[in-house]
Amino acid sequence: MDLTSVEGIIEGIIYKNEANGYTVCEIASGRKLITAVGYMPFINEGETIKANGRWVRHPDYGDQFKVELYEKVLPHTAEAIEKYLASGIVKGVGPVTAKKIVDRFGASALDVISNEPERLSEIKGISLAKAMDIGRALNEQRGLQDVVMFLQEYGISPSACVKIHRAYGDRSVAMIRENPYRLCEDVFGIGFKTADMIAMKLGVDPASLFRIKSGIRYVLSHAASNGHTYLPESMLKQFTARLLGIPDIDIEDALVSLIFDKAVQTEKTAEDSNVYLSAFYNAELGVCRRLLGLARTSFGRDFEDLDEKIEKYEKEEGLQLDLKQRDAVREAMLNGVMVITGGPGTGKTTIIKCILRLLAEYGHRAALAAPTGRAAKRMTEATGYEAKTIHRLLEMGYTDDDSEPAFQRNEENPIDADTVIIDEMSMVDILLMNHLLKAILPGARLILAGDADQLPSVGAGSVLLDIISCSGIRTVRLTEIFRQAEESMIIVNAHRINRGEAPVLNAKDKDFFFLSRYGQENILRTVIDLCDRRLPDTYGLDPLKDIQVLSPTKKGPAGVVNLNIELQKVLNPPDRKKAEKAAKIYTLREGDRVMQIKNNYSLRWEKPGDARIDGTGVFNGDMGTVADIDDDEMAVTVLFDDDRMVVYDYSILDELEPSFAVTVHKSQGSEFPVVVMPIFPGPEVLMTRNLLYTAVTRAREMVVLVGDEEVLLRMVGNKRETLRYSGLADKLKTFTAYADIK
């Protein structure tokens, strides 16, 4: 059956799925009122559309027009234009302003807004600035319409269309036609398969050099998102061939071309070649050179009375450093680079406090930082000295590109400090470490503190472990648990788990509990009851502020996705007073706990108050609460735990996820009063000792494990660590050996 065309004004929208754009609406076409159904993202009441489709008969609702393709048509009459503008489709224009504009300009109103927006300021109540904003908003709508029309046949979501238009502007369609593969690199939420499908429909040759190069870059980018700074060449070819459906022999020319373009770098090894995206190769090289450069500095002559100063500190504080702690303090003061590693309760904070006091006595300026806002806040509370996030220490500035940071502190403008101390180093990835080292003055002191037995960073690299394993950087590993810490079963059990010993469960009057349950559904019900009723009633806890559920996996009844859906039902149920917004998987609601799931370097924030502070950058793992959802402004406001207020446009809501429950990996660097963790069978590669250890060490006051004790014991015994391809350790060893020979 041939397609039929219908044109008319949208009188009303009966139903709209915000996630995928499926819509049921009524179209006034002449004297007829037509019910239209289909995927029609971004249509609004008052707009005129031309739709192609077929008539179908619904058993309950009668004749309907099933839309296959549609396009928006700008209205022509003054009456239709006023209705269009009054619908709110153009930001900054409501019914009153729409009437004023049409009364003044009649049927020419849209041409004036688009081509001569300054003329709107002739109308009382519209300033020149507002007039220009209205003009921009209308033209953005037209540009977005072109993108939507072009991409609708490819099944691209409405929110993705907005992000594409925001990234490329009026050249969106031209740029996609020129290189559809750029979408998976530039637009969060669009994967290689979607970009490849568009490319195939645009006629790109499946065996073209262009496609294969794009596939190689995607495989390396995907590997980086899983923590690898490189892939062995044989593995890269295998993954690329599987992705593209071509023989791996066809990949060689594309790889050579990428090397020639300097998009990738290779490094020969005895067995294979390691292939890097250039950014990660350059970062490893930069970290290696700068770290070893700092390590060559010695401060021995400056601190001849160091031991006396340490003894004085001990007397004043009424404490006694053990041999390893004293050694750590001395090494940190005397060497250019020092690593302090150890588990909870082993005295890392005590050492840092002593070092800070000594530095102050010798007149040295220290800067303290940690990877996350929560970790920096904890560092400030523990030491009494201000600590910043690493991004804030480096003074991250505004950038139009949300994929790359722009730091004000660098080689030309270094950090104003003689000593830089970084805590929670296990979370620092190779790119951030490179930026940090660029900003440290040559000859300054760098002290790195962290727990090497925790999970590695979310970002690419294995920086702390690589530095420790290279043997070229002074390292002190703390193992003794101090008397005060021994009173906590959280700390005792964390060390038992780390040694491969079974934790002590349900010791009387302690802080570590295990509830035996079998089957994920039973575990799920118990976790929900603990968060909703038992823990709040027994201990007076606020379930949204004091309790954090950590799960090993995303999938399954007791995985993060389902836990968030079920926990939201009891901890923040629907309420007429609370606005909400449907997203792809979840419905966000005012009062929800949420987490940022990607680095967005351009997202602006502010800290309200008498002395307002603002800046840019929200990072993977940052947690907060939904403070406001505004449909008129199409925005969600989130108040993060460090008091930053961030406004999210609806188009980037896929950067937020509920965080009533989060994965253990996402919890790194955070500390919570109470941790509740389901324990159930899962993939061996995931259910590991260091994942359990990391989860347990996130709790400050109480741990409650719920599930199968046999699974718990298997996790304790599973020392398997996920392989990360990282070349920093080898580079450090090679450079150190070369320096020794010279």
79-83, 167-171, 309-313, 659-663: which is most confident: 659-663
Q: What are phi and psi of 340, to 5 degrees?
A: -115, 115
Instruction: Give the pLDDT score at 617.
Output: 86
Type of residue at 40: M
Give 493-525 as a 3 state SS string. Answer: HHHHHHCCCCCCCCCCCCCEEEEECCCHHHHHH
* Mean predicted confidence (pLDDT) in 59-64: 88
Q: Average per-residue pLDDT in the chain?
A: 88
**Range list of H helices, 152-251:** 158-168, 172-178, 182-186, 192-201, 209-225, 233-244
pLDDT class of 742 with cuts at 50, 70, 90: very low
Least confident of 73-82, 394-403, 430-439: 394-403
Q: In this predicted structure, what is the pLDDT of residue 185? A: 80
Long-range contacts of 517-524 (CB under 8 A, 24+ apart): 517/706, 517/707, 517/708, 518/707, 518/708, 520/556, 520/557, 520/558, 520/678, 520/680, 521/557, 523/557, 523/558, 523/678, 523/679, 523/680, 523/706, 523/707, 524/557, 524/558, 524/562, 524/563, 524/566, 524/678
Average pLDDT of the segment spanning 192-197 = 88
| Model pLDDT, residue 621 | 87
Share of the chain above pLDDT 70, in %: 95
Q: How far apart are the C-alpha atoms of 228 and 461, rounded to whole Å?
A: 6
Look at residue 577 in the predicted model and tell me its pLDDT: 92
Q: Who's near 319: CB < 8 A, 6+ residues apart?
A: 350
Using pLDDT thresholds of 50, 70 and 90, give the confidence band for residue 113.
confident
C-alpha 25/C-alpha 656 separation (Å) is 30
Does pLDDT of 90 surpass 80?
A: no
pLDDT of residue 137: 78
pLDDT tens-digit map of 379-422: 999 899 999 999 999 998 766 655 567 899 999 999 999 999 99
Task: Tell me what the mean pLDDT of segment 223-237 comes to.
Answer: 94
For residue 103, what pLDDT is reported?
Answer: 92
- Whether pLDDT at 106 is above 60: yes
In one-letter notation, the amino acid at residue 366 is A
pTM (predicted TM-score): 0.81
Spatial CB neighbours of 741, under 8 Å, sequence gap ≥ 6 = none
**What pLDDT score does 403 carry?**
59
- Helix residue spans in 418-469 (DSSP H): 430-438, 463-469
pLDDT above 60 for 156: yes
Asked whether 439 and 414 are in contact (CB, 8 A), the reply is yes
The answer to whether residue 674 scores a pLDDT higher than 60 is yes
DSSP helix/strand/coil, 445:
strand
Segment 606-610 long-range contacts (CB within 8 Å, at least 24 positions apart): 606/644, 606/645, 607/643, 607/644, 607/645, 608/643, 608/645
Which 8-state DSSP code applies to residue 128?
A: H
Reply yes or no on whether the pLDDT at 88 is more than 70: no
Run of H or E including 552: none
Q: Give the β-pairing of 62-73 and 48-58.
A: antiparallel
pLDDT at 727 over 70: yes
678-712: pLDDT as tens digits: 999 998 888 999 999 999 999 999 999 999 999 99
Query: Is residue 10 over pLDDT 50?
Result: yes
| pLDDT, greater one: 574 or 509 | 574
Q: What is the pLDDT of residues 282-315, one digit of tens each?
A: 999 999 999 999 999 888 766 778 888 899 988 9
Return the pLDDT at 202.
85
Q: Which tokens hold the place of 309?
A: 């100063």
Q: Which amino acid is present at 690?
A: N
pLDDT given for residue 89 in this prediction: 66
10 Å CB burial of residue 66 (0-12, 13-18, 19+) is middle
Between 69 and 584, the more confident residue is 69
pLDDT for residue 84 is more than 80: no
Using alpha carbons, select from 454, 480, 443, 463 the residue that is nearest to residue 351: 480
Paired strand residues for 6: 51
H or E segment and range at residue 354: helix 348-361
Position 658 confidence tier, pLDDT thresholds 50, 70, 90: very high
Q: What local confidence, expressed as pLDDT, does residue 374 receive? A: 82
Residue 446 confidence (pLDDT): 96
Amino acid 3: pLDDT: 80
Nearest Cα residue to 339 out of 490, 458, 498, 445: 445
The pLDDT tens digits of the residues spanning 496-522 come to 999 999 999 988 888 999 999 999 999
Instruction: With a cut of 80, say whether residue 544 has pLDDT above it.
Output: yes
- Residue 741: predicted pLDDT: 44
More confident call, 738 vs 489 = 489
* Residue 583: per-residue pLDDT: 78
Given a cut of 60, whether residue 1 has pLDDT beyond it is no
Average pLDDT over residues 488-500: 92
- DSSP state letters, 292-334: HHHHT-B-GGG-TTHHHHHHHHHHHHT----HHHHHHHHHHHH
Distances (CA, A) of 233 to 273, 276, 582: 5, 9, 43
- Report pLDDT for 421: 96
Residue 114 pLDDT greater than 50, yes or no: yes
